[in-house]
Amino acid sequence: MALRTEEMLLNVGPQHPSTHGVFRLVVKVDGERITEAIPVVGYLHRGTEKLAEDLSFTQIIPYTDRLDYLSSMLNNYALVQAVEQLMGIEVPERAEYLRVIVMELNRVASHLVWWGTAILDLGATSPFIFAFRDRESIVALLNEISGARLTYNYMRVGGVKWDAPEGWIERVKKFITVMRKHLKEYHQLVTGNEIFLARVKNLGVYDAKTAIAFGQSGPVLRGSNVKFDIRKNQPYSIYDRFEFEVPTGETGDVFDRYMVRMKEIEQSLNILEQATEQFPEEGEIQAKVPRVLRAPQGEVYTRMETSKGELGVHLVTKGKSDKPYRLHLRRPSFINLQILPKILLGRSMADIPAILGAVDIVLGEVDA
Amino acid sequence: MFGILEQDFSWLNLLIMISVAVAVMGVVLLFVVYAIYFERKIVGWIQLRRGPNRVGPWGLFQTVADVLKLLIKEDVVPTKVDRLLFLIAPIIAYTPSFAIIAVIPYTESLYFADVNVGLLYYGALSSITITGIMLGGWASNNKYAIMGGMRSVAQMVSYEVPLIMSFLGVVLMTGSLNMREIVQAQQDGVWFIFPQFLGFIIFLIAGNAELNRTPFDLPEAENELVAGYFVEYSGFRFAFFMLTEYVYMFAMASLMTVLFFGGWDAPFGLDFIPGIVWFFLKFLMLVFWLFWIRATFPRVRTDQLMGFAWKVLIPLALFNVMLTALLHTLGIYSGVN
């Protein structure tokens, strides 16, 4: 005899410990099995794109800090890159190196936060603290160079705001060694754990075709065995000067996305090592730009690889103006999470944090 | 204790019994308060933190302050709950956890009830708690609470089977369900952790699951179910559920000490140290082990949890019982009888 069961509509979020912010997921569950999942976004919408139309280019930079607040340096770069391309500004070499160093540091920090929280979602509490210990060193370094711990507002059109303080590069080098050692410990603590493997293997699987069809980018795309990293495929800044690999996964499950991110931390450390080695002793950190930045009429789309994926900036200017006519941001978190209804279907309630954690969304970026 | 249960009824005896019960409760509550403190300290050290260190010297009064805060909180009963069940659920969950403490012998002479079916009593009474948890989840009229309640019922019912079967081996070897006799059997021979190693491992795992602790803390899985069955509870009623959990930890660690580590039996002939100290040391070691596990492992998933109980633990426990019976019949494992 078939047991009569009842479907239950469950609101996961917007206030929920594992949605990483004000994300809401409306799920229909049959017992513990999910029969439907609809993501609802917009609780943190601040209208960044519209606000930008009333701001000069330099004034927009602090707004980009608040998009993906875990990797503000990378967002800063996305905007200044677009403006520089539109205005045709050459950035001094020393500034480019500083940018790469802070961006890669920030990428490691972002991945560390992801690592800690994703494992925390699986119920292990210690990795979270360990990850935040190392993130703390990065935040301290970035604080030293930019004066802020989270919203750095560090980059400017044509360069960076502050030069590296004395001994800063040495401290970054020291951090790389420490981080490499800790990374090994992290693998020991989590990667080999049977319970962890049982939780994440063959979970939330999608192949390369699906990933591309859903417009995925970043680690979630590379986890499905697509070797695509904008730093490699369409190098911007000075990324063509560094040797690094683009790690990919095999099956496209949560574990692969996990491994891709962990390997990316290693690769970022490699880039950091080379960048700190090649770092020019002398040089300008800011190109000569007019006091009021007036961009010529035009339209530009630039993209870059953030810790979440492809962050694109579509910038349109009308007339010779110091403000954008229209600014659109292609936010990777927002696009990456669209695959959720598909991969959550038929899984159990307990898989929600595991799958959602592996997508790595930051709500500031999703809702912009 | 003092053979009061065997004597005729008198008011004095009743008074002694009540005061002893209150004293035990005091000891257990003191343990709970400091177990929570040590848990936070130990997990803190493992996680490179300091743990509580603000209230009192070395934060010793932190838990006291926490409990006090829970006590003076407003007693909230949400409107849509099943009022009666909501109110009695924490009590149903708590009472058996305390009642099982009575049968645990701490030393040769320090025990509260010398029950001949002590182990059976332990197993039977501890099952009642499940009812309280299920009622709490059901009465809360909350979707997360219901899922938490259902999970915990499924989990505790499943893990009770291997738990009880794992100490059947010990019972077979001693031929007694009386905990004192079990310890005495170990005093004469070896601690049962050696001949009953498989049983001990099963007990460790099933016991951990029975306690609803990481990696088996699904009923209160914060990350998917917010808080599980007690999501609607606050103040003192919430404290009751917490107490239940920690009192069970006390009981489970004591039971493990008695069954597998020889209770108050001193190892290596170190008899000059009193038995109660040995009991306490062994007990603390097991409690520490529980904390350690909690700080290390992630949580398993519901279906994996059930699969593990029914496909791995129960067959293993059955095998252990058969093996013990066989060896006992052949005369290799001979206990006191």
C-alpha B136/C-alpha B149 separation (Å) is 7
Asked if A24 and A14 touch (Cβ cutoff 8 Å), the reply is yes
User: What is the DSSP secondary structure assignment for residue A262, as one 8-state letter?
Assistant: H
Mean pLDDT is highest, among A86-90, A346-350, B152-156, for A86-90
Token output for A159: 């360069």
State the average pLDDT over residues B92-110. 82
C-alpha A113/C-alpha A125 separation (Å) is 13
Token output for A274: 């080379």
One domain, residues B125 and B169: yes
Reported as a pLDDT band with limits 50, 70 and 90, residue A294 is confident
One domain, residues B87 and B48: no
One domain, residues B66 and B87: no
Asked whether residue B337 is domain-assigned, the answer is no
User: What string of DSSP letters covers B223-274?
Assistant: HHHTTGGGTT--HHHHHHHHHHHHHHHHHHHHHHHHHHS-TTPPGGG-TTS-
> What pLDDT does residue B224 have?
67
> What pLDDT does residue A313 have?
92
Going by C-beta distance under 8 Å and a sequence separation of 6 or more, which residues neighbour residue B272? none
Q: Where are the alpha helices (DSSP H) in A55-193?
A: 57-65, 72-87, 93-121, 126-146, 168-186
On whether any CB of chain B is under 8 Å from the CB of A119, the answer is: yes
Q: Is A139's pLDDT higher than 90? A: yes
Asked if A124 lies within 8 A of B296 by C-beta distance, the reply is: yes
Asked if A126 lies within 8 A of B303 by C-beta distance, the reply is: no
Å between B301 CA and nearest CA of chain A: 6
pLDDT digits (tens, 9 = 90+) for B160-184: 888 888 888 888 888 888 888 888 8
Domain A7-367 part of CATH 1.10.645.10: yes
Instruction: Report phi then psi at A367, rounded to 5.
Output: -90, -20
Asked if B226 and A17 touch (Cβ cutoff 8 Å), the reply is yes
One domain, residues B210 and B159: yes
Reported as a pLDDT band with limits 50, 70 and 90, residue B336 is very low
CA distances from B333 to A112, A315, B176 (A): 53, 82, 15
State the average pLDDT over residues A36-58. 89
Asked if B215 lies within 8 A of A123 by C-beta distance, the reply is: yes
pLDDT digits (tens, 9 = 90+) for B10-48: 788 888 878 888 887 888 788 788 888 888 888 888 888
> What pLDDT does residue B337 have?
41
**Closest chain B residue by Cα to residue A19:** B223
Residue count (chain A): 368
Facing A195 at nearest CB: one of B215, B222, B294: B215
> What pLDDT does residue B222 have?
63
Q: Which residues of A touch B46 (CB under 8 A)?
A: 126
One domain, residues B286 and B180: yes
Facing B221 at nearest CB: one of A193, A196, A350: A350
**Beta-bridge partners for A308:** none
On whether any CB of chain A is under 8 Å from the CB of B296, the answer is: yes
Lowest mean pLDDT among A168-172, A292-296, B20-24, B106-110: B106-110
C-alpha B60/C-alpha B323 separation (Å) is 47
Domain boundary at B37, B72, B107, which? B72
| Sequence letter at residue B295 | A
Query: What mean pLDDT value characterizes chain B?
Result: 82
Facing B304 at nearest CB: one of A17, A32, A198: A198
Asked if A350 lies within 8 A of B48 by C-beta distance, the reply is: no
Asked whether residue B300 is domain-assigned, the answer is yes
Instruction: Report phi then psi at B301, rounded to 5.
Output: -95, 155
Reported as a pLDDT band with limits 50, 70 and 90, residue A176 is very high
Reported as a pLDDT band with limits 50, 70 and 90, residue B335 is very low
On whether any CB of chain A is under 8 Å from the CB of B325, the answer is: no
**Closest chain A residue by Cα to residue B301:** A350
Q: Is A235's pLDDT higher than 50? A: yes
C-alpha A324/C-alpha B64 separation (Å) is 59
One domain, residues B27 and B154: no
Asked whether residue B336 is domain-assigned, the answer is no
> What pLDDT does residue B5 have?
63
One domain, residues B89 and B121: yes
- Our count of domains for chain B comes to 2
Q: Is the ipTM of this complex over 0.85?
A: no
On whether any CB of chain B is under 8 Å from the CB of A16, the answer is: yes
State the average pLDDT over residues A147-158. 89
pLDDT digits (tens, 9 = 90+) for B201-247: 888 888 888 887 778 777 666 666 666 777 788 888 888 888 888 88
More confident residue, B137 or A138: A138
State the average pLDDT over residues B250-279. 81
Lowest mean pLDDT among A4-18, A275-289, A300-314, B151-165: A4-18
Query: What mean pLDDT value characterizes chain A?
Result: 88
One domain, residues B63 and B138: no
Reported as a pLDDT band with limits 50, 70 and 90, residue A19 is confident
One domain, residues B85 and B119: yes
Taking alpha carbons only, the member of A92, A89, A102 closest to residue A283 is A92
> What pLDDT does residue B137 have?
84
Asked if B223 lies within 8 A of A349 by C-beta distance, the reply is: no
Taking alpha carbons only, the member of B115, B95, B97, B96 closest to residue B105 is B115
pLDDT digits (tens, 9 = 90+) for A182-224: 999 889 888 888 888 888 888 888 888 998 999 999 899 998 8
Q: Please, what sign has the CA dihedral across residues B10, B13, B18, B19? A: positive
- Across A336-350, b (16+ Cβ under 10 Å) vs e yields bbebbeebbeebbbb
* Chain B interface test: which of A7, A29, A122 (most B C-beta within 10 Å): A122
Taking alpha carbons only, the member of B83, B95, B81 closest to residue B131 is B95
One domain, residues B42 and B148: no
Range of the domain at B92: 76-329
Å between B47 CA and nearest CA of chain A: 5
On whether any CB of chain A is under 8 Å from the CB of B334, the answer is: no
Going by C-beta distance under 8 Å and a sequence separation of 6 or more, which residues neighbour residue A201? A253, A254, A255
pLDDT digits (tens, 9 = 90+) for B49-87: 888 888 888 888 888 888 888 888 888 888 888 888 888
Residue A138 CB neighbours (<10 A):
22
* Chain A interface test: which of B224, B226, B291, B294 (most A C-beta within 10 Å): B224
Asked if A18 lies within 8 A of B223 by C-beta distance, the reply is: yes
CA distances from B50 to A24, A128, A135, B60, B291 (A): 35, 16, 19, 13, 15
Distance of CA A366 to the CA centre of its chain: 11
Q: Which residues of A touch B144 (CB under 8 A)?
A: 10
Q: Is the pTM of this model over 0.90?
A: no
One domain, residues B89 and B64: no
Asked whether residue B334 is domain-assigned, the answer is no
One domain, residues B58 and B85: no
Asked if B299 lies within 8 A of A124 by C-beta distance, the reply is: yes
Asked whether residue B220 is domain-assigned, the answer is yes
Domain boundary at B72, B102, B133, which? B72
Domain boundary at B72, B87, B116, which? B72
